[in-house]
Amino acid sequence: MDNFTHSLVGWALGQAGLKAKSRKGLAALILGANMPDIDVFFGWVGWAPLAMHRGFTHGLGGGVLVIPPLLAGLLWLLDRWQIKRGVTFKSGLDMHVGWLVALSYLGAITHPLLDLQTTYAVQLLSPFSNGWYHMDSLFIIDVWLWTLLAGSIAWSRWREKHGQEWQRPVQGAIAIALVYISFNLGLSQTATEEVKRRSPSATSIFASPPPVWFWNRGMSWREERSIGRAEFRPFGGGLLDSHPPQPDAMDDPLVRTALARDRALRKFLGWSILPVADIKRGRCQGEVTIGDARYGEAGSSRSRLAHVTTVPLPGPGC
């Protein structure tokens, strides 16, 4: 999910009442909810689990276990520094280190669990496993969650400012959000079962929700060395526009040569679950484009993620 959504989730938990547990508690929840994305700065690291986005820092037994105490420690040091400078805290709250650590953990664990809802997937068991997990209930930017959480937080803060009970609006919004996600999980599971019924050999099935019309799904899956696609409309006919699977071309010799020459392509395959290649051969060189079937066809204008490399071809005059 986008970091605005992660921040809203941490903020909502705080505004639901948890921010009152300790000074710096709200900061621990919001920063903790964004903390796993620190891996975007480590693409150069040689250790693959850390260099892979949504890898080690998103693993429940990896970064989510290790990093929250560091966040709590930094917030505690900031608090000590502020006290030495004579800062007064408007909240009037005391510092409770135990709660600060607990809130850092709570904020951090919401991050991979929220990312798990998208088709981008997450290595939930990193570094002990490099398997990718996904539940396909949400688009990576969900405007409905934005509206629900931001609106409830604004209402809660207004009530707090005017001395009224302020936790209940956000608590209700969190309950609605959980129902919304559960409903979408059910839709994705229904769509997945439809694909399995129509294509029994289908594996690695993804049900991609669109940005606004959250009840529809763009389906993609693997059938041996081919990629299948279809649209799922729960209120308009079920599984639609199913076409014969198209070869993924990943076993083409030119693709193997491109992978041997291009480290970026090999790294891309560490994340890609449904890789698909588009190959163009010229007189003296070939162009290999590798994308992921979850996000459009490689080599087409619809591809949102694709890597391109050129490979020299032997021949007269080359």
pLDDT bin (cut points 50, 70, 90) of residue 301 is very low
Provide the domain limits for residue 299: 248-312
Asked whether residue 308 is domain-assigned, the answer is yes
Q: Where a domain ends, among 119, 134, 149?
A: 134
pLDDT bin (cut points 50, 70, 90) of residue 265 is confident
Place of tokens 């409770």: 96
**Single-letter residue type at 99:** W
Give the burial string for 76-95 (b: 16+ CB within 10 Å, else e): beebeeeeeeeeeeeeebeb
Asked whether residue 155 is domain-assigned, the answer is no
pLDDT value at 305 more than 80: no
Asked whether residue 106 is domain-assigned, the answer is yes
Q: Where a domain ends, among 88, 114, 134?
A: 134
SS (H, E, C) 91-127: CCCCCCHHHHHHHHHHHHHHHHHHHCCCCCCECCCCC
Tokens matching residue 18: 């948890």
Count how many domains the chain has.
2
Asked whether residue 172 is domain-assigned, the answer is no
Asked whether residue 288 is domain-assigned, the answer is yes
Lowest mean pLDDT among 8-17, 34-43, 122-131, 197-206: 34-43
**How much is the mean pLDDT over the chain?**
90
Three-class SS state of 303: coil
317 sits in the region (left: phi over 0; alpha: psi -120 to 50; else beta) called left
Asked whether residue 140 is domain-assigned, the answer is no
Asked whether residue 53 is domain-assigned, the answer is yes
For residue range 43-66, list pLDDT tens digits in order.
766 666 676 788 889 999 888 999
Q: Where a domain ends, among 134, 157, 180?
A: 134
For residue range 133-180, list pLDDT tens digits in order.
999 999 999 999 999 999 999 999 999 999 999 999 999 999 999 999
For residue range 77-126, list pLDDT tens digits in order.
999 999 999 888 888 899 999 999 999 999 999 999 999 999 999 999 98
Percent of the chain with pLDDT over 90: 66
pTM of the predicted model over 0.85: yes
Half-sphere exposure of 166 (CA within 13 A, CB side): 20
Asked whether residue 177 is domain-assigned, the answer is no
Three-class SS state of 247: strand
Average confidence (pLDDT) over 177-199: 96
Taking a C-beta distance cutoff of 8 angstroms, is the pair 41, 63 a contact? Answer: no
